[in-house]
Amino acid sequence: MKLAAEKICYAYIRENDVLHEVSLSVASGNILFVLGANGSGKTTLLDCLSGVRVPRSGQVTIDGARLADLSLRERARRIGVVPQMHEPIFAYTVGQAVLMARAPHLGLFGRPGKADIQAVEEALRAVGIANLRDRPYTGISGGERQLVLIARGLAQGAGCLLMDEPAAHLDPHHQQDALGVVGALADDGFSFVVTSHHPNNALLYANEVLFLAAGTPVVYGPPRAVFTEESLRTTYGIPFDIVRTDMGIRAILPCVRHRRSTI
Amino acid sequence: MNGSHRRTMWILILSPPVLLLAALLIGRYGVRPDQALKALFGFDGASEVLRSLIVRVRLPRALAAACIGANLSVCGAAFQGLFRNPLVDSRILGVSSGAAFGAAIALLFSASAVAVQASAFIFALVAVGLVVLIGWRFGASTLVIVIGGILTSALFNALLGLIKYVADPLSNLPAITYWLLGGLSGSRWTVLPPLLVISGFGLTFFALIRWRMNLLTLPDAEASSLGVRIRPLRIAVMIAGTVMVAASVAIGGMIGWIGLVVPHVARAAVGPDHRLLIPASAAIGAATLLVLDTVARTALPSEIPLGILTGLIGVPAFFVLFLRFLRARGAAR
């Protein structure tokens, strides 16, 4: 399963590119982190990769097939989207919420059967939340809900999952829980594109990192190659300290010249 | 679907037929069950008067009550999911306002019962057509459709006011007022076929797509990432729903609260999954209107308008029921 984008450009208003000549490629077992300031085009990029938006030039391919040539159902069976958390209105159980992912495998009048229930069970077990199946989706924690959304992507049958800021609103513990599951799934051959505001998470979990600034790629490559003071400054517009040890880069911190307390 | 839901479902599904039979027996003229069955199935020995009472008067009325209750409730449940808003009911698209105007204009010209029904039905669809047109023109988002519904309702309410103002206060105005209060006294076999056919098709449609309706409660982009073409599905649900409601209000007039409250009771009973919610709403709606209409025609010497009853009895009864269900499930949501 290989998802690739080739020099894609996207504009909401004509001649005003929100994405400009972005190329990337994620193969099975890899995790690509997309980092960039607010409004740099990360979510638009995910929308182009999932097929919700169609680039004005360039193309997105999955296993060599152009995304634009695939039907909505075919696309959904290959690419899953893990949206930023939303507050559900009706109290579906976790099992019912994940079961919705079987839609691309069923006809208009179809109702899920044994095989679909089986797929849901497997997906829940794969992310380690089989015990939550009958709990209302509205009554679980944010970290658990993120795992439910990942499970939904798996139940969909997709080999590639696009995640929009999975760490948003999560405490450090639950961020590592969610990303740990992502890492384990990548080891099993799934591929991930993850947008994030946390360079340190990219350091810990990414195989490759893409920096976006105003819709244009700044650098693209493995973490040790792309995390430089210069690329961080270009991307976020402020200076960063990179903490290096003999084990390589350990942390990335914004420079603050006047600390309020000394350590 | 766990065991307790399955048991609840059986009780719900069985209640409308039982209540329908009961409605045939209860009335000003008491009927013994064996007499009623004889009359109903045309056995010898049933008097002609009794046969006429049961088959020509009570049966069509009970069928109308069951269909209208089921239609309003299923559409309420569908629209609450579709608009992702639990406070929505079947009137959100302006169906009722259009129907009210249509009936009023026919009554203004002292038209026949069939003409009043037809006019109400047609103007209900005109109102919804207007909403869909506005929605389509401006992107078919739920927000635009809701605003279109509010505008259309306001327009038809104003037109209704105008008709009331010019209507003859001694003949036509009371007729309009009574019609607006809602009631099933006009449900005879002659006006029933459109309602029966539309209810049959509509309820079957919702039964077939009921699982997929769960996906309509997701944000648009999310549903499409799950491979669902959301716009055609949404429009199909809106059209099926409004035709069912239009056929219902054309016969029954303004019967409020059912479409709003029944889906909530159904949700409290069997959960939010439309696989159970749709049949449960249909059953509870049908049962409720059968009971209320029986009360409407028997409680007082003269008939109580159904719309008043659904408000007076329906609301507090449902409120209590709703609280009890919530407490039984031990959760606030």
DSSP per residue, A81-116: EEPSP---SS--BHHHHHHGGGGGGS-TT----HHH
In words, the CATH class of domain B18-329 is mainly alpha
Is A50 in contact with B225 (Cβ distance < 8 A)? yes
Contact A127, A120 (CB under 8 A): no
Stretches in chain B below the pLDDT threshold 70: 1-3, 43-46, 139-140, 314, 318, 325, 328-333
Asked whether the predicted pLDDT for residue A119 surpasses 90, the reply is yes
- Which chain A residues are within 8 Å of B226, Cβ to Cβ? 76, 100-101, 103-104, 156
Decide if B226 and A109 are in contact by the 8 Å CB cutoff.
no
Domain A3-87+159-254, architecture per CATH: 3-Layer(aba) Sandwich (3.40)
Which tens digits make up the pLDDT trace of A56-99? 999 999 999 999 899 999 999 999 999 987 777 888 999 999 99
Window from A95-104, A182-191, A213-222, B318-327 with minimum mean pLDDT: B318-327
Contacts of A111 in chain B (CB under 8 A): 210-211, 275
Q: State which H helix or E strand residue A250 sits in.
A: strand A248-254
CB contact under 8 A, B226 and A156: yes
- Find residues 58-77 of chain B whose CB sits inside 8 Å of chain A: none
CA distance B1 to A121: 15
The verdict on B330 touching A (C-beta cutoff 8 Å) is no
Which residue in A93, A100, A108 is closest to B226 by CB distance? A100
Contact call for B227 and A72, based on CB within 8 A = yes
Q: Is B264 on the interface with A (CB under 8 A)?
A: no
Q: What is the predicted ipTM?
A: 0.87
Does B226 contact A108 at a Cβ distance shorter than 8 Å? no
* Nearest-neighbour CA in chain B from A42: distance (Å): 16
Number of Cβ within a 10 Å radius of residue A86: 11
Contacts of B208 in chain A (CB under 8 A): 109
Residue window 191-220, chain A: list those with CB within 8 Å of chain B: none
A93 touches chain B (CB under 8 A): yes
For chain B, say whether A108 makes contact (Cβ under 8 Å): yes
Q: Specify the pLDDT at position A173.
A: 93
Determine contact: A148 vs chain B, CB below 8 A.
no
Tell me whether A92 touches chain B (CB under 8 Å). Answer: yes
Cβ–Cβ below 8 Å for B209 and A109: yes
DSSP per position, B222-287: HHHHTT--HHHHHHHHHHHHHHHHHHHHHHH----SHHHHHHHHHHHHH-S-HHHHHHHHHHHHHH
Amino acid B226 reads L
B209 close to A (CB below 8 A): yes
Mean pLDDT of A173-197: 95
A123 has a pLDDT exceeding 70: yes
B333–A89 C-beta distance less than 8 A: no
Phi-psi region at A171: left, alpha or beta (left = phi > 0; alpha = psi -120 to 50): beta
Mutation site, A108, A116, A149, A160, interface B, largest B CB count within 10 A: A108
Q: Cβ of A139 and B333 within 8 Å?
A: yes
Residue B106 CA to residue B102 CA, distance in Å, equals 6
Q: Kindly identify which residue of chain B lies nearest to residue A101, measuring between CA atoms.
A: B226
Six token digits for residue A83: 């949206």
The mean pLDDT value for A34-60 works out to 93
Backbone angles phi, psi at B227, to 5 degrees: 85, 15
> Once rounded to an integer, what is the mean pLDDT over residues A202-208?
95
Q: Does A109 touch chain B (CB under 8 A)?
A: yes
Cβ neighbours of B224 in A, within 8 Å: 52, 72
Give the model's pLDDT for residue B329.
62
The residue among B259, B269, B266, B305 whose CA lies nearest residue B95 is: B259
Stretch A139-165: mean pLDDT, rounded?
Answer: 93
Chain B positions in Cβ-Cβ contact with residue A138 (cut-off 8 Å): 333
Distance from the B79 Cα atom to the nearest Cα atom in chain A, whole angstroms:
13
Quick check: A83 contacting B, CB < 8 Å? Answer: yes
Contact yes or no for B211 and A112 at CB 8 A: yes
